């Protein structure tokens, strides 16, 4: 017989309910400690990753500044190149236009174009053809035109024309 009314039951130190509550609290405490450790580990990982990203950000920012400087330099060079090409194109067109002005009766031997000065050497059949057909356009383009003539052995006139542009004085 398992039950006796006379013999007392053996008493345990912890009852079933208390044991169940203690196991529950121990399990919860263990889970919370593990979760706290996991969060500490993740926090350290995130901090080290954040430091690496900050270093990478500063490197990229420095590279970005260098690239911006390079882009500005290239844009300046492109603008400078474009101005030179435009200037050369304009000069080429002006020279072509000037050569179109030279009539067939005039043969140019030498053309020198420098800053504000145009020197023409050539020969013509007569003085009036030079004065009427070439000197008038030169006078319209330049401020001063001086021409010297000399007669050659084959009865043509050799001329040297020096045309200058007055430089504008800036206040």
If one compares 123 and 42, the residue with the highest pLDDT of the two is: 42
If one compares 92 and 34, the residue with the highest pLDDT of the two is: 34
If one compares 38 and 165, the residue with the highest pLDDT of the two is: 38
pLDDT at 82: 95
Does the pLDDT at position 1 exceed 80?
Answer: no
**What are the Cα distances from residue 1, in Å, to 4, 5, 9, 44, 75?**
7, 11, 13, 64, 106
Does the pLDDT at position 123 exceed 70?
Answer: yes
pLDDT at 80: 95
Report phi then psi at 103, rounded to 5. Answer: -75, 170
Is the pTM of the predicted complex or chain greater than 0.75?
A: no
Are the C-beta atoms of residues 106 and 129 closer than 8 Å to each other?
A: yes
pLDDT at 111: 87
d(CA 162, CA 121): 9
If one compares 81 and 14, the residue with the highest pLDDT of the two is: 81
d(CA 149, CA 99): 21
Give me the residue spans of the domains in the chain: 15-101, 104-171
Out of 32-46, 70-84, 133-147, pick the least confident.
133-147
Say whether domain 104-171 belongs to CATH 3.30.1360.
yes
If one compares 50 and 145, the residue with the highest pLDDT of the two is: 50
pLDDT at 53: 97
């Amino acid at each position: 017989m398992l039950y006796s009314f006379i013999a007392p039951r053996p008493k345990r130190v912890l009852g079933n309910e208390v044991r169940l509550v203690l196991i529950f609290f121990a399990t919860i405490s263990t889970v919370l400690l593990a979760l706290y450790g996991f969060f500490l580990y993740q926090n350290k990982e995130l901090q080290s990753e954040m430091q690496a990203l900050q270093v990478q950000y500063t490197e990229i920012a420095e590279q970005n500044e260098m690239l911006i400087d390079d882009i500005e330099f290239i844009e300046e060079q492109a603008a400078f190149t474009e101005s030179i090409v435009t200037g050369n194109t304009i000069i080429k067109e002006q020279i072509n236009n000037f050569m179109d002005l030279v009539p067939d009766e005039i043969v140019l031997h030498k053309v020198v174009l420098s800053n504000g000065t145009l020197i023409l050497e050539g020969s013509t059949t007569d003085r009036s053809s030079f004065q009427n057909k070439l000197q008038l356009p030169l006078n319209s383009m330049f401020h001063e035109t001086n021409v010297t003539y000399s007669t050659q052995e084959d009865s043509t006139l050799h001329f040297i024309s020096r045309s200058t542009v007055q430089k504008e004085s800036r206040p």
